[in-house]
Amino acid sequence: MSDSSSPSLPSLPGRIVAVFVSPGRLFEQLRDKPVWGATMLLLVILNVIMMFLIPAELFEEQIRRSVGDAGMGEDEIAVAVTVGRYAGIAMAGVMGAVGSFIIGAALFFVFSTLLGDNGRFRQYLSVVVHALLVSSVGALIQVPLKRSAGDMELVLSLGTFAPFLQDGFLLSFLSAIGLFGIWCAMLMAIGVTRIQPTRGWGGAFTVVMVLYCVFALGTAAITSMVS
């Protein structure tokens, strides 16, 4: 489709609204003009704000749990809390960008390289960064829940609906599949079908969720090894 026949692309504020209320139309527009830079910068900023809003007390509690009986003094713990908090804030920002490229590359590899779709990497990256806005907004929404529960690792996930499970691999796996993450996967599947109109949403969503579950399995495995 030529640029002359393409609907005009909304500004960044308009795209933020559109990804929640009219993602199909937005991804059609992004297919023809796959912008991503400003949106990725916004993701980084939102992730940094989210981590900054988590109280230092929760970082301290996590540090104390992780050091256990290591014999660290109060001064050492205070330094670890400060370093850990600011390192976590910086890492959240970095992962907002790096994670977008990784997910975009994964979708491009699976759909364009393995399944033969016609999409370009830039198109998949554009879809990913806009879909991840939902995840970043969701992370901000969950900050009050973390603060009230006194648990900085609290997330709304499939594990939330399995309180009967004991700590272990299965609960870690379900906890790694966030509800906002599933929403993002649904949006990415819509984006895939706009990049390749012949591909059905159900098949695209299944592929994206398989990739998500592979990530969750890796997260659960790491959690099991360090716990």
Kindly report whether the global pTM for this prediction surpasses the value 0.85. yes
Q: CB count, 10 Å around CB of 115?
A: 15
Question: Average pLDDT, stretch 184-189?
Answer: 98
Orientation of helix 121-149 relative to helix 23-32, angle to 10°: 140
Query: Does residue 60 register a pLDDT over 60?
Result: yes
Question: Average pLDDT, stretch 150-172?
Answer: 89
Q: How confident is the model at residue 34 (pLDDT cuts 50, 70, 90)?
A: very high
Query: Does residue 221 register a pLDDT over 80?
Result: yes
Query: Does residue 68 register a pLDDT over 70?
Result: no
User: What's residue 1's pLDDT?
Assistant: 38
What single-letter amino acid sits at 49? I
User: What's residue 157's pLDDT?
Assistant: 95
Instruction: Give CA separation, 129 vs 51, 95, 192, in Å.
Output: 19, 12, 13
Query: Does residue 49 register a pLDDT over 90?
Result: yes
* Alpha-carbon dihedral sign for residues 28, 29, 34, 38: negative
Q: How confident is the model at residue 192 (pLDDT cuts 50, 70, 90)?
A: very high
